[in-house]
Each structure stands twice: as C-alpha cells, then as structure tokens.
Amino acid sequence: MNGWLIPDWPAPAGVKACVTTRAGGVSLAPFDSLNLGDHVEDSPEAVLENRRRLTAAFAIQPAWLRQVHGVVVVEADPGQIAEADGSWTDTPGIACTAMTADCLPALFCNKAGTRVAAAHAGWRGLAAGVLEAAADSLDVAPADILVWLGPAIGPKAFEVGPEVREAFMQQLAQTAEAFVPSHNPGKFLADIYQLARLRLAARGITAVYGGGLCTVTDPRFFSYRRSPRTGRFASLIWLER
C-alpha cells in the first residue's frame, strides 16, 4: 500500500506535493509503519528506511527540520537539519518538509510555480506568525500565493484553555469565531483550520485549500493527542525537476 496522499488543489504545473500516511513503512508498533520522525524513540534504522522509501518514490531530496514551535523559515537545505518551523526553495527536486502528528502542516506556492514553502504550525507557532513568515518567504504579493492546509487535529478534538483563545484574539479579534465553549467548564474547542484561514485572510491571502481532516479520528495519520507515544507523518512540496 502506498504511504501517501496527493493534495487536491489548483497548484501550477511543475509544483508537486504529497502527504505521507502511516502505511508503507517498516517501523514497528506504536510507530507503525511509515514513521518519519527521528526523535520519537523509534528504531533509527527503521526511520532511515522509511525516509529512503519516500525519497525514492518521488525522486526528491527532503529538507528535514528540527521543529521548535517558532516562526523561523529558512531556505531548504537537504544537507543540514536547521532549527526552524518552515522552509522555502526555488530549486527543483528539493522538498520543503513539515512533520506533524496533530499540528497543522501548510504548503505554499506562488502562482507562477517558481517557489514553494512548507510550515509546521502548532497553536503557538500559528499565533506567533509562522504561516505569515512562510508566505513572506515566497517574496510575492498575497494575491499571488496559493496555500494548502494538510491533516491536523480537528475542531471537535482540539480542546484548549482560555489563554490560547486570548493569544489569538489579542492579535486578531475575529478569531473569536474559531472557538466554541467545550463541555468542560472554562475550556474551548478550537478550529485550527479556521484560525489559519482567518490569519491568512488578514494578510490578503484567500486562495486557501485543504482542511477538513482530523488526525485524532482518522487512523491513517499519527496523532499525539490520540497516543502520546507515536510517530510523525510529513507534508512535502517541491518543484519538479
């Protein structure tokens, strides 16, 4: 079974993307089977083989990151693992890569199909501006940007405290609509997809696609909230050689 999904969005010719699933790898439970994270106590040999399979399937060079829930976006470099939460490239064959297991992966490209970017956005990174930083790395007008939102924790599963709601509302009042009271007093259910769309729209970026998947309830994906000892899947975007 192939271990990936191909995003359905109007990307320009030459822009390619994929999202890996749990299928098609060699890792054993609870990392079964296509775990790509090398920081989750999985066998290093299994992770290397899983990454090799991904690389071979698409003839790409993924640029892996050491993600820290920040806003730094770097030029993608397969030769080093940068501490960052986003990357961009205009070099064919190099894949900007975001690893997640409930956080929001976002893929970006310009309409000309000459530059791409990927971002990892947990709520802290999202509130701090990692999506905006990734959009800025394309160096084009907001109207010339396309975004695809990959699998993330869904709005019925993402319970947060009032401090999370406040962090977003202090910057953008309309994000209040992305939070509804939970059945647990003082808690809220947050829609990370809606939060992303609202923040991108505030920047003038409205060509946003994807969303609607929930990593917690969809067994095709790893989910930290479902099982804290788990693997990571990846969302990748690149320019065709």
Task: Supply the DSSP string of 172-218, one letter for each residue.
Answer: -GGGGGGEEE-SSTT-EEE-HHHHHHHHHHHTT---EEE---BTTT-
Domain-embedded: residue 192: no
> Is the Cβ–Cβ distance between 146 and 9 less than 8 Å?
yes
Domain-embedded: residue 107: yes
Domain-embedded: residue 158: no
Domain-embedded: residue 71: yes
> How many domains does the chain fold into?
1
Q: What is the pTM of this model?
A: 0.98
Which structural domain range is residue 96 located in?
4-153+210-239
Here the CATH number for the domain that contains residue 146 is: 3.60.140.10
Domain-embedded: residue 69: yes
Per-residue pLDDT of the chain (241 residues; tens, 9 = 90+): 468 999 999 999 999 999 999 999 999 999 999 999 999 999 999 999 999 999 999 999 999 999 999 999 999 999 999 999 999 999 999 999 999 999 999 999 999 999 999 999 999 999 999 999 999 999 999 999 999 999 999 999 999 999 999 999 999 999 999 999 999 999 999 999 999 999 999 999 999 999 999 999 999 999 999 999 999 999 999 999 9
Domain-embedded: residue 193: no
Domain-embedded: residue 191: no
Q: What is the pLDDT of residue 61?
A: 98
Q: Which of 158, 19, 40 is nearest to 98 (CA)?
A: 19
130 token code pair: 């990692």
Give the C-alpha separation, 230 to 73, whole Å: 26
Q: What is the pLDDT of residue 7?
A: 97
Domain-embedded: residue 190: no
